[in-house]
Amino acid sequence: MAKAKNKDKNERVSCPIGRFFSDLEKASGNKSLVLEHLSRSKLEFLKAVKYLVDDKIENLEKKGSAKGKKKATKIRVE
């Protein structure tokens, strides 16, 4: 009973994408071509996530540096 609760708890906490790939690997058995494609797809997926994170960091850094710059002020000359 305790093992079942731990397994359920781990399943709820685990990453759904990781669980998806894990389930695909289990379903494929030991077919090397399937596992090879799954490994490449995991790598490509992680690269896509890395690109999104890097892009967001870059945008936040640009916004942060723009806040520090002084803005031009209009001066009325008589």
Q: Report helix, strand and coil shares of the chain as percent, to nearest 5.
A: 80, 0, 20
Number of domains comprising the chain: 1
Cβ-Cβ contacts under 8 Å for 26 (sequence gap 6 or more): none
**CA–CA separation, 25 vs 36, rounded Å?**
10
Q: Indicate the pTM of the whole model.
A: 0.49
Collapsing DSSP to helix, strand or coil, 71 comes out as coil
**CA–CA separation, 59 vs 36, rounded Å?**
35
Q: Is residue 75 part of a domain?
A: no
Q: Is residue 56 part of a domain?
A: yes
Q: Is residue 73 part of a domain?
A: no
Domain, as residue range, for 29: 2-67
pLDDT digits (tens, 9 = 90+) for 54-75: 999 999 988 877 665 667 888 8
Span 34-61, mean pLDDT?
A: 88
Q: Which of 9-13, 26-30, 51-55, 71-75 has the lowest mean pLDDT?
A: 9-13
